[in-house]
C-alpha cells in the first residue's frame, strides 16, 4: 500500500495541534486551581510545580516502553492509545475533590501520553530524508502552536465557563484527535516479532555519529528545563506586573500564546532552510535568539513589554525542537526510529520535570524575576554544549 505521507502530515498536524493545545490549555490556571482545591497559601507554588512535573515524570519513565512497542506494533496504534487514554484522564480532572487526586490524575495523564512523539516518528519514517526538515518543522508547528495558543484558549474558556468545565472541553478535543487518527491516518506497517527486532545497541552502531545523538538528548533536556521553568510563575508574574487580579487569566493566555504565532510562522521556514544549510546551524541560532529574549524578561515593567519579548521568543522556539527532530531523523535507521525518538522524549519529559521545580524553587526563595535570569543561564550552558557537540560538523560545512 502506497502511503500519502503529505496527507498523513496534515492530519497528524491537526492531531498534534489539538493535543498540544489540550495539554497547555490548563497551564495558566493550574496555580489558581490548586488554590481553589484548598492548598495552603505558602504551598501553592510547590503544588503547582508538582502538578506540572508529575505528568512529565511519568511520561518520561514509560517513553522507552511505548517507543519499543511502536517499533514492534506500529506508530498509529500508539497514537490512538495516547489520545484515547488522555481523553479519560484529562476529563477526570474536572471532578477531583482535592490536590491529592489532582496530582494522581496528572501522573496518569503522563503515563498514557505520547501522541506527538509517535506522530513525529511516523512522519519521519515516511517522508523522504531530503524533505525531513520541512516536514518535521511543519508538523512541529502543530504541537508548538497548539501548546502556545492553548493558554489563550484556556484563559478565554476559564473566564467564560469556569476552570472545571475547561477540563471537559479539553477532553472533547482529545476525543476528536482519537477519531481523526483512527479514520484518516494511514500506516503501512508490518508488525515485527519480538525475537526479530533489531537490538537498540545495534541501532546506535548503525548511526554515523551516535555520540552527537546522545549529546542532542542532553540539549533537549536543558532546553525543556529552560522553557518550563517559567510555567509555574508566569501567571503570578503577570498578576504582579498588572497590579490587579481581574482578567489575569485572559492576559496570561494572550501573553503566553503570542509566542505561538511567531513559532507557527518560523518553524516550517526554518526547517526548509535547515535542509539547505544544516539544522545544526538553525538550532544554535535559535538558542542565541532565545537568550536575547529571555534575559530582558527579568527587567520588564509592564505586561506589554513581556508580551513583546514572548512574541520574539516564539521565532526561536520554532527553530529548536524541529531542528533536533530533523537531525535525529536524518541519522537514525528507520527500523529503530521510534525508540530513538522515545529516548529524546524521555529527555524532554525529564527536562519538563526539573524545569517547573527549579522555577518554583527560585521563585519561592528569590522572587519571580530571578527565574528568568536563571533560565537565561541555562540557555548559555546549552549554547556551549551544542557548539561543542556540533563543532566538527560545522567546521566540515565551512570547508
pLDDT tens digits, one per residue of 339-395: 999 999 899 888 888 887 788 889 888 888 999 999 999 999 999 999 998 886 665
Residues 104 and 22 in one domain: yes
Residues 122 and 161 in one domain: yes
Residues 268 and 389 in one domain: yes
pLDDT in tens, 259-313: 777 887 888 888 888 888 888 999 999 999 999 999 999 999 988 999 899 889 8
Most confident by average pLDDT, 43-47, 92-96, 223-227, 235-239 = 92-96
Mean pLDDT of 326-331: 88
Most confident by average pLDDT, 89-98, 202-211, 236-245, 360-369 = 89-98
Cell of 100: 491529592
Mean pLDDT of 9-20: 94
Of the three residues 166, 187, 208, the one that is the final residue of a domain is 187
CB atoms within 10 A of CB 94: 17
pLDDT at 394: 61
Q: Which residue has the higher pLDDT, 253 or 164?
A: 164
Q: In which residue are the cell numbers 496528572 written? A: 106
pLDDT in tens, 83-98: 999 999 999 999 999 9
Residues 307 and 327 in one domain: yes
Residues 181 and 227 in one domain: no
pLDDT at 1: 59
pLDDT at 268: 85
Residues 241 and 356 in one domain: yes
Q: Confirm whether 193 is domain-assigned.
A: no
Q: In which residue are the cell numbers 502552536 written? A: 145
pTM over 0.85: no
Residues 76 and 179 in one domain: yes
What's the CATH number where 17 sits? 1.20.1250.20
pLDDT at 152: 75
pLDDT band, very low/low/confident/very high, at 399 (cuts 50, 70, 90): very low
Q: Which of 246, 342, 259, 256 is nearest to 303 (CA)?
A: 256
Total domains in the chain come to 2
| Mean pLDDT rounded to a whole number for the chain | 86
Mean pLDDT of 35-61: 84
Q: 251 is in which domain, residue-wise?
A: 199-398
Mean pLDDT of 129-136: 83
Percent of all residues in the chain with a pLDDT value above 70, rounded to a whole number: 96
Residues 135 and 283 in one domain: no
Residues 345 and 250 in one domain: yes
Q: Which residue has the higher pLDDT, 309 or 43?
A: 309
Rounded to the nearest angstrom, the gap between the alpha carbon of residue 114 and the centroid of all alpha carbons in its chain is: 11
Of the three residues 187, 214, 233, the one that is the final residue of a domain is 187
Cell of 305: 513589554
CB atoms within 10 A of CB 292: 15
Residues 129 and 259 in one domain: no
Q: Which of 253, 304, 303, 284 is nearest to 379 (CA)?
A: 284
Residues 278 and 220 in one domain: yes
Of the three residues 167, 187, 207, the one that is the final residue of a domain is 187
Amino acid at each position: 500500500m502506497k502511503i500519502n505521507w503529505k496527507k498523513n502530515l496534515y492530519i497528524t498536524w491537526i492531531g498534534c495541534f489539538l493535543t498540544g493545545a489540550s495539554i497547555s490549555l490548563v497551564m495558566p490556571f493550574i496555580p489558581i486551581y490548586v488554590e481553589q482545591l484548598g492548598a495552603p497559601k505558602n504551598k501553592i507554588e510547590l503544588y503547582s510545580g508538582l502538578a506540572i512535573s508529575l505528568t512529565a515524570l511519568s511520561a518520561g519513565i514509560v517513553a522507552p516502553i511505548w517507543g519499543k512497542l511502536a517499533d514492534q506494533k506500529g506508530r498509529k496504534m500508539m497514537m490512538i492509545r495516547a489520545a484515547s487514554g488522555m481523553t479519560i484522564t484529562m476529563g477526570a480532572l474536572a471532578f477531583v475533590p482535592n490536590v491529592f487526586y489532582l496530582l494522581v490524575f496528572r501522573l496518569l495523564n503522563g503515563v498514557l501520553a505520547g501522541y506527538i512523539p509517535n506522530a513525529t516518528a511516523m512522519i519521519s519514517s515516511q517522508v523522504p530524508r531530503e524533505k525531513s526538515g520541512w516536514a518535521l518543522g511543519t508538523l512541529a508547528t502543530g504541537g508548538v502552536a497548539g501548546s502556545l495558543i492553548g493558554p489563550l484558549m484556556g484563559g478565554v474558556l476559564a473566564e467564560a465557563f469556569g476552570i472545571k468545565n475547561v477540563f471537559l472541553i479539553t477532553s472533547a478535543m482529545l476525543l476528536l484527535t482519537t477519531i481523526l487518527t483512527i479514520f484518516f491516518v494511514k500506516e503501512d506497517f508490518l508488525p515485527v516479532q519480538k525475537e526479530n527486532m533489531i537490538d537498540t545497541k545495534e541501532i546506535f552502531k548503525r548511526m554515523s555519529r551516535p555520540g552527537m545523538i546522545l549529546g542532542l538528548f542532553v540539549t533537549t533536556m536543558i532546553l525543556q528545563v529552560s522553557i518550563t521553568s517559567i510555567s509555574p510563575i508566569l501567571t503570578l508574574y503577570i498578576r504582579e506586573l498588572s497590579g490587579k487580579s481581574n482578567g489575569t487569566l485572559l492576559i496570561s493566555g494572550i501573553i503566553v500564546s503570542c509566542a505561538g504565532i511567531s513559532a507557527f510562522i518560523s518553524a516550517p521556514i526554518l526547517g526548509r532552510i535547515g535542509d539547505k544549510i544544516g539544522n545544526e546551524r538553525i538550532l544554535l541560532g535559535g538558542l542565541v535568539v532565545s537568550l536575547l529574549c529571555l534575559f530582558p524578561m527579568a527587567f520588564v515593567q509592564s505586561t506589554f513589554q513581556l508580551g513583546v519579548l514572548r512574541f520574539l521568543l516564539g521565532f526561536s522556539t520554532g527553530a529548536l525542537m524541529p531542528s533536533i527532530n530533523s537531525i535525529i531523523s536524518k541519522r537514525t535507521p528507520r527500523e529503530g526510529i521510534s525508540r530513538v525518538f522515545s529516548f529524546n522524549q524521555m529527555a524532554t519529559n525529564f527536562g519538563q520535570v526539573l524545569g517547573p521545580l527549579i522555577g518554583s524553587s527560585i521563585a519561592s526563595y528569590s522572587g519571580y524575576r530571578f527565574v528568568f535570569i536563571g533560565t537565561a543561564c541555562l540557555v548559555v550552558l546549552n549554547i556551549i554544549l551544542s557548539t561543542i557537540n556540533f563543532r566538527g560538523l560545522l567546521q566540515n560545512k565551512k570547508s
